[in-house]
Structure 1
Amino acid sequence: MKLWKSFFVAAATLLAVPAFAHDGVMIADPYARSMGGVGASGAVFFTIMNHSAEDDRLIDARSDAAQKVELHTHKDDGNGVMQMLHVPEGFVIPAGGEHALARGGDHVMLMGLTEALADGDMVSVTLVFEKAGEVVIEAPVDNARKGPMAMDHSGHEMQHGHGHGHGHGQTDAGN
């Protein structure tokens, strides 16, 4: 009985380990969304955990899945409309802390997809950190996944996939 308990505890521990780790930086729960076929846009989301004693910074991302890859965020323009902005300085991940790249906030933007991305496809992304260096992740495409804050193209919050206000009623992969 004790042997089985040890086995199940070990198996549960292995399953609980985040997907990708390198030099104190761990990446958990990566997934991607796509806005359509070749030439369209997409985005990649995940949580970065920094288990080191020093702050680190995500400074770049690369992927063969798109012609251009940038770190992006959303900012309210003061009129209730969210604008997507390139963040060339990247995102700080505090020592012993974490930083979520999530819909409606910071994310990796894929522009000019080189192939259509369907649910279940995998997107390989190389994340470049100031201190931890390069970390390669594999993000499954999950277009149906709801993030903490889904928005339509006009920046209005959406519930159950229906836009409120005067948006298009679709979610943006960059959200």
Structure 2
Amino acid sequence: MTRRTTALSAAVALAAALALTGCSSKDSGPELKVSGAFMPQPVMDMAGGFLTITNSGDTADKLTSVTSGISDDVQIHETKNQKMRKVESFDIPANGELKLERGGNHIMFMGLKQKPKQGEKVSIELHFEKSDPIEVELPVEAPHHNPKQH
């Protein structure tokens, strides 16, 4: 009878350990999704890029850089007190979002190799601290396009 009780106790302990392990790995990390992406048609040799990154995961992440074939110098900028400045990263909170929008934080494409026209698309790749890169197509909109005004 003791052997059976010991085996049963060991099985219960193993099941409990597996259940606890399952619970602790429930945190799946950041779960990122991009929406609302666009680029206003550039009028000079630089352009802005705008989009929203939603994180439905339980772990925060950071947007660390953006790359694109349209420019060798793609920067991420914050806007504070109506002044733009280059930053190293943007936080993407757990169960939150990062909005890159006109008049606020945004992507800046410097020294464009070509100027895309309204109706075309520009490919970019977003790079993160924890998540794999995400490829995004930015539709090129009218120069003064602003979804907030619609």
TM-score, normalised by the number of residues in structure 1: 0.64
Equivalent residue, structure 2, for 1:100: 99
Task: Return the letter of the residue paired with 1:53.
Answer: D
Deviation at 1:67, TM superposition (A): 2.7
Q: Distance between the aligned counterparts of 1:102 and 1:147, measured in 2?
A: 9
Q: Distance between the aligned counterparts of 1:68 and 1:115, measured in 2?
A: 13
Greater helix share, structure number: 2
Equivalent residue, structure 2, for 1:84: 84
Q: 2:67 aligns with which of 59, 62, 66?
A: 62
Q: 1:25-50, CA deviations, whole angstroms, 9 ceiling, x for partnerless residues?
A: 0000100123326xx11011011000
Within a 5 Å distance, the mapping from 1:79-158 to structure 2 comes to 82-88=82-88, 90-143=89-142, 144-148=144-148
Task: Return the letter of the residue paired with 2:79.
Answer: H
2:42 touches 2:115 (CA, 8 Å); kept in 1? no
Deviation at 1:147, TM superposition (A): 4.5
2:77 touches 2:107 (CA, 8 Å); kept in 1? yes
Q: 2:40 aligns with which of 12, 24, 33?
A: 33
Give unmatched runs, 5+ long, in structure 2. 1-29
How many residue pairs get matched? 119
State which structure, 1 or 2, has the greater radius of gyration over its C-alpha atoms.
2
RMSD: 1.5
Give unmatched runs, 5+ long, in structure 1. 1-22, 77-81, 150-175
Please list every run of at least 4 consecutive aligned residues from structure 1 whose deviation after the TM superposition is greater than 6 angstroms: none
Q: 1:78-118, CA deviations, whole angstroms, 9 ceiling, x for partnerless residues?
A: xxxx2210011x11111111111000111110001111111
Q: Distance between the aligned counterparts of 2:126 and 2:40, measured in 1?
A: 17
Between 101-110 and 23-32, the greater mean CA deviation after superposition: 23-32
Equivalent residue, structure 2, for 1:24: 31
Equivalent residue, structure 1, for 2:27: none
TM-score, normalised by the number of residues in structure 2: 0.74
Task: Return the letter of the residue paired with 1:26.
Answer: K
